[in-house]
């Protein structure tokens, strides 16, 4: 349900509605719009004698309407505008499209520093790098752990770029919160509900990747787990899905971009690196994603991809990344955006 407050509702009336929702055994999720406040009412209604419809009786309430989609808080029904928030100084969900770039894995201080300087020069707005890596084989490099996070921290100090890094285990939340600006949930963990609930309680923004075999509806339900815990700073990321095609690592689902933009107010990102798996396809799929309406991109860049410990084949060299940025700007302009 959504409680739509009158445009002239007072703060006291809003507070009264929120506390009544709590008394009825539900969680209120207020969203302050430009014209009016709406309050999402979520929770299990089994065995509850009172119906939330009665909230219509309260002062300042304009209407109480049902949310038809199962993803209540992620749905555009609750919020018509794309949600906006800040990660340090970087605005998310606005006209300007932020580009996250950096290596798949943190490998050494020299590697991260060099890449961070290069991507910043080219206009990237955040630095990515995995310190805890989800690898298909348990015998390959698993990430540098806290040592890697310390390197990312140094790079942030040097460049001012906020840090995006993956969380794989709910137990790592404290250490990751000390270093990360954005917690990335990887494709393999996108339906790890314990992890989703954990980051839902965090004060850090979340970049949620789509699982390789999750439908768009399931993907939105994953986001709902985070939102239901109170964390509203969620970015969705299309990163390719598993199909019969073997010419590319994954099949980048371009369709998902306009579909998600229609169904949710959450900002939509694209990851053409994992979406294709080959560096030579990353630029064209980036341009297509911008044309399709993404709110941000995440791109793997490595100073020496030939010897990268993970995902070298899909990583751009800094000069190719610089070229991508140059090609991306006019495409963004053509669809009324900027980079």
What residues line the site for Mn ion (CB under 5 A)? 104, 311
Q: Which of ligand PEP, Mn ion, none sits in contact with 134, Cβ below 5 to 8 A by type?
A: ligand PEP
Residue 305 found at the interface with ligand PEP (CB under 6 A): no
Residue 29 Cβ vs Mn ion, minimum distance, rounded to whole Å:
33
Q: Which of ligand PEP, Mn ion, none sits in contact with 337, Cβ below 5 to 8 A by type?
A: none
Residue 274 found at the interface with ligand PEP (CB under 6 A): yes
Which candidate, 160, 143, 157, places its Cα nearest to that of 103?
Answer: 143
Residue 209 found at the interface with ligand PEP (CB under 6 A): yes
For ligand PEP, which is the closer residue by CB, 79 or 295?
295
* Cα 322 from Cα 124, distance rounded (Å): 9
Residue 38 Cβ vs Mn ion, minimum distance, rounded to whole Å:
38
How many CA within 13 A on the CB side of residue 204?
Answer: 26
For Mn ion, which is the closer residue by CB, 103 or 200?
103
Residue 104 found at the interface with ligand PEP (CB under 6 A): yes
Residue 102 found at the interface with ligand PEP (CB under 6 A): no
Site string for ligand PEP, 49-68 (x = CB under 6 A): --------------------
Binders in 119-148 for ligand PEP, by CB under 6 A: 130, 134
Q: Which of ligand PEP, Mn ion, none sits in contact with 29, Cβ below 5 to 8 A by type?
A: none
For ligand PEP, which is the closer residue by CB, 20 or 273?
273
For ligand PEP, which is the closer residue by CB, 21 or 207?
207
Residue 300 Cβ vs Mn ion, minimum distance, rounded to whole Å:
6
Residue 204 Cβ vs ligand PEP, minimum distance, rounded to whole Å:
17
Site string for ligand PEP, 176-195 (x = CB under 6 A): ----------xxx-------
CB 199 within 8 A of CB 166: no
Site string for ligand PEP, 234-263 (x = CB under 6 A): -----x------------------------
Residues within the interface to ligand PEP (CB under 6 A): 104, 130, 134, 186-188, 209, 239, 271, 274
């Amino acid at each position: 349900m959504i409680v739509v407050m009158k445009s002239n509702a007072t703060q006291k009336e809003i507070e009264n509605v929120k506390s009544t929702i709590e008394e009825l055994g539900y969680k209120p999720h207020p969203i302050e719009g430009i014209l009016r406040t709406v309050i999402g009412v979520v929770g299990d209604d089994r065995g509850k004698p009172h119906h939330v419809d009665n909230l219509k009786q309260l002062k300042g309430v304009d209407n109480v309407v049902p949310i038809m989609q199962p993803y209540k808080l992620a749905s555009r029904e609750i919020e018509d505008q794309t949600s906006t928030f800040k990660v340090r100084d970087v605005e998310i969900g606005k006209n300007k499209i932020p580009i996250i770039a950096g290596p798949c894995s943190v490998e050494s201080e020299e590697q991260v520093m060099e890449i961070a300087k290069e991507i910043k020069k080219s206009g990237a707005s955040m630095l990515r790098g995995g310190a805890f890596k989800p690898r298909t084989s348990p015998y390959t490099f698993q990430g540098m752990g806290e040592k890697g996070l310390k390197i990312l921290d140094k790079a942030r100090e040097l460049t001012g770029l906020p840090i995006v890094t993956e969380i794989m285990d709910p137990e790592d939340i404290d250490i990751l919160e000390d270093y990360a600006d954005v917690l990335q949930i990887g494709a393999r963990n996108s339906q790890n509900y314990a992890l989703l609930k954990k980051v839902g309680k965090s004060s850090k923004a979340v970049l949620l990747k789509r699982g390789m075999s999750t439908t768009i509806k399931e993907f939105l339900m994953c986001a709902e787990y985070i939102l239901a815990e109170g964390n509203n700073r969620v970015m969705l990321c299309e990163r390719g899905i598993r199909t019969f095609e073997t010419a590319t690592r994954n099949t980048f689902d371009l369709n998902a971009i306009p579909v998600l933009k229609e169904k949710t107010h959450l900002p939509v990102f694209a990851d053409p690196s994992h979406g294709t798996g080959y560096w030579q396809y990353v630029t064209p799929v980036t341009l297509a994603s911008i044309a399709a309406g993404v709110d941000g991109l995440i791109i793997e860049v490595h100073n020496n991809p030939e010897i990268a410990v993970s995902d070298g084949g899909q990583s751009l060299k800094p000069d190719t990344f610089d070229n991508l940025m140059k090609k991306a700007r006019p495409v963004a302009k053509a669809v009324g955006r900027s980079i």
